């Protein structure tokens, strides 16, 4: 089961996306990035974080340890922003913490131009994303970190942020386990991901037993808002059944065709040209921001 810790010092918010997680120090002397139960994404995002993150770890992918964090909003009473304080006030109790990777950097398109990634490693990550229907690991928002960035240990890719995965649990009644998803713009697509080798390696390991162990990590309270299920146990069974069926149907959803970096650049240029077409001259000088995420705050936040 996930370890439980108690937050005893609030360090800072991370303004990355709409969830506004916070960095805290806990009574085990660890530092964690906490995702709050009161965020706009709701508790299903935390369910996805646990299931996909723990499955990634079980399959040997690098993913920071998750813990359950007992959080008292009083420790963050000095937070100057009212909306963040309101988020904290709505999140008293147990929240989800991810081990903080000091100095970790975002895996950006610029870094991706020179950072080496083995095709099999890329294939494993793409395979996991396809299995769990993760729609948020794109060239514009990779949800990948590079760590460590100092010392003699070579930097490695680490997976983070899976709240947008498991999209099927938002509409259980209309989700087909063999449904294909478009991964053409996956953050690792131009590395030539060997998804067939990854499927051969990983699919036999995603057993019903493993999935039950992973889903058991989700607190009962976070499964309470799943419409159509009378108990948390029924919700767990539904996750296990869906993911078991999806593994068996991998031939239907396995992504194998990815555009090169040059093709992606050409697509982007064409989109810009189409956006500019028909605009008045003054508007043509406005930069095209389509597809570009808001600036992220990296994990090298000051902890003093």
Among 14-23, 86-95, 120-129, 201-210, which stretch is predicted with the lowest mean pLDDT? 14-23
Please check whether residue 126 is in contact with residue 138, taking contact to mean a CB–CB distance below 8 angstroms: no
Tell me, rounded to whole angstroms, the distance of Cα 13 from its chain centroid: 18
Q: Say how far apart CA 225 and CA 216 lie, in whole Å.
A: 17
Task: Write out the residue range of the structural domain in which residue 239 sits.
Answer: 105-253
Is residue 192 domain-resident? yes
Mean pLDDT of 96-105: 97
Q: Are residues 123 and 227 in the same domain?
A: yes
The count of domains in the chain is: 2
Element containing residue 5 per DSSP (H, E): strand 3-13
First vs last C-alpha separation in the chain? 31
**Which CA distances in Å does 298 have to 13, 107, 175, 292?**
11, 10, 35, 16
Question: pTM (2 decimals)?
Answer: 0.88
Q: Are residues 154 and 58 in the same domain?
A: no
Q: Are residues 249 and 113 in the same domain?
A: yes
pLDDT tens readout for residues 191-218: 999 999 999 999 999 999 999 999 999 9
- Say whether 100 sits in a helix, a strand or coil: coil
Is residue 293 domain-resident? no
> Taking Cα atoms as reference points, which of 285, 268, 267 lies closest to residue 276?
285
Sign of the CA dihedral 258, 260, 266, 269? positive
């Amino acid at each position: 089961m996930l370890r439980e810790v108690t937050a005893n010092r609030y360090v800072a918010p991370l303004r990355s996306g709409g969830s506004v997680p916070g960095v805290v120090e806990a009574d085990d002397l660890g530092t964690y990035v906490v995702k709050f139960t009161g965020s706009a994404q709701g508790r299903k995002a935390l369910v996805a974080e646990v299931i996909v993150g723990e499955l990634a770890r079980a399959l040997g992918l690098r993913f920071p340890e998750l813990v359950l964090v007992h959080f008292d909003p009083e420790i963050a009473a000095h937070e100057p922003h009212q909306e963040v304080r309101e988020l904290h006030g709505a999140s008293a109790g147990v929240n989800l913490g991810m081990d903080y990777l000091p100095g970790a950097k975002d895996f950006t398109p610029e870094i991706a131009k020179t950072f080496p990634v083995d095709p099999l490693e890329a294939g494993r990550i793409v395979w996991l994303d396809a299995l769990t229907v993760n729609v948020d690991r794109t060239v514009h928002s990779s949800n990948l970190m590079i760590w460590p960035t100092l010392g003699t240990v070579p930097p490695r890719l680490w997976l983070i942020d899976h709240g947008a995965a498991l999209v099927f649990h938002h509409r259980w009644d209309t989700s087909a386990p063999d449904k294909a998803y478009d991964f053409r713009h996956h953050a690792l697509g131009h590395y030539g991901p060997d998804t067939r080798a990854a499927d051969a390696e990983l699919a036999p390991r995603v057993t019903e037993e493993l999935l039950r162990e992973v889903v058991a990590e989700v607190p009962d309270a976070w499964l309470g808002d799943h419409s159509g299920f009378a108990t948390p146990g029924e919700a767990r069974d539904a996750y296990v059944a869906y993911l078991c069926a999806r593994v068996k149907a991998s031939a239907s959803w396995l992504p194998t065709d990815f555009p090169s970096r040059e093709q992606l650049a050409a697509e982007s240029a064409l989109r810009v040209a189409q956006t500019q077409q028909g605009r008045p001259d003054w508007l043509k000088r406005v930069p095209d921001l389509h597809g570009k995420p808001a600036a992220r705050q990296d994990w090298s936040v000051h902890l003093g």
